[in-house]
Amino acid sequence: MDLPKLAIAALGGTVSMQARNAGEGVIPTVSGETLLASLPELSTLARVTVETLGLLPSASLDFEFLLSVLSWASFQVKQGAVGVVITQGTDTLEESAQFFDYLWPHDTPLVLTGAMRSAAQPGADGPANLLDACRVALADGSRQRGVQVVMNGEIHRANSVRKTDSLALQAFSSPVTGPVGLLIEDCVRYLRPPVQRAVLPLPQQTTQKVALLEASLSADTLLLENILALGYDGLVIAGFGAGHVSQRWATNIERIAEKIPVIIATRTGSGSTAQATYGFDGSEMDLIRKGALMSGFLCPRKARILLWLLIGCQRQHELTRYLKGNIQHRCD
């Protein structure tokens, strides 16, 4: 039987980590080839090619490297892969997934996974997550769904997934919406149909700087006062509640928004920013009046990725349009 072609890349993270010596912390040393050796059943599902593109903790991945991974993945599709799987650290998985999703032009599934327990730990979840991710990448129902994250038997859209626990096995969730699908008895089961995605052109520049600042009680304004002088091209604020800041921050944001795009998201970890509820100084209505844009359901980190990519392809003037998909303007 002619099995479908599946391409897998390893970038590092806990899934690729082990300790060199007892008592030392785990570090990424395990290649993609070695990861696959723990999954002999995969050879009955697909013709697999595997490459180790990096062995990094995911905190040290960067956008330039992810662009090179994206071009590797696109090349695999051109070479006939019906699905692509990438393993990486979970700490920044939600950001890589969103980054790839904005740039992935193919109907072919691109699936990201990782592990919360390293290979030598009892109950290591890496092999199960990788096998699940491969099943998702091979499933017909995964086409036209862009980039998805598979962890702990759940399938999440790149747009909604977040790491919401630092160490638990069930570390990933999609607040408000829940997972888009599940793996049940080795089968991929989608709970909802695919949604239309915004796909951006590749950035022509990568030197732009977008700052992300979180509002906190009684925070000073020193960084805000210096954002423009420091040469930032965009600013994202993880605001209080439904997208709020202090009066002092609001005054600074007005001045900054005259020069560079400013997005206000919520720091709460779940839910949407408001548009037309609160009117106090520093509220969402005040900040909109002062020139800032609200991110809706898009979390601060993903909003930063959107702005970075839009500036990179000179489309920052279309920011409102791209944010709109994350905002519910009307009642159904």
Binding residues for ligand ASP (CB under 6 A):
13-14, 57-58, 89-91, 114, 116
Which residue has the CB atom at the shortest distance from ligand ASP? 89
As given in the structure block, the two tokens for residue 100 are 């790839």
As given in the structure block, the two tokens for residue 56 are 């990094």
For the bound state, the minimum distance from the C-beta of residue 91 to ligand ASP, rounded and expressed in Å, comes to 3
Q: Which of 55, 198 has the CB closer to ligand ASP? A: 55
Contacts for 112 with CB less than 8 Å, ≥ 6 apart: 85, 86, 87, 88, 93, 96, 97, 100, 133, 147, 148, 149, 150, 158
As given in the structure block, the two tokens for residue 277 are 């509820």
Q: Which of 12, 234 has the CB closer to ligand ASP? A: 12
d(CA 56, CA 68): 15
For the bound state, the minimum distance from the C-beta of residue 316 to ligand ASP, rounded and expressed in Å, comes to 30
For the bound state, the minimum distance from the C-beta of residue 118 to ligand ASP, rounded and expressed in Å, comes to 8
Q: Which of 167, 229 has the CB closer to ligand ASP? A: 167
For the bound state, the minimum distance from the C-beta of residue 171 to ligand ASP, rounded and expressed in Å, comes to 8
Q: Which of 7, 171 has the CB closer to ligand ASP? A: 171
Helix (H, G, I), strand (E, B) or coil at 196: coil
For the bound state, the minimum distance from the C-beta of residue 123 to ligand ASP, rounded and expressed in Å, comes to 14
Q: Which of 91, 284 has the CB closer to ligand ASP? A: 91
For the bound state, the minimum distance from the C-beta of residue 7 to ligand ASP, rounded and expressed in Å, comes to 21
Q: Which of 87, 246 has the CB closer to ligand ASP? A: 87
d(CA 3, CA 267): 46
Please report the beta strands in the chain, taking only residues with DSSP state E, as ranges in sequence order. 5-12, 17-18, 27-28, 47-56, 83-87, 110-113, 147-151, 154-157, 162-163, 172-173, 181-184, 187-190, 210-214, 234-239, 262-266, 293-294
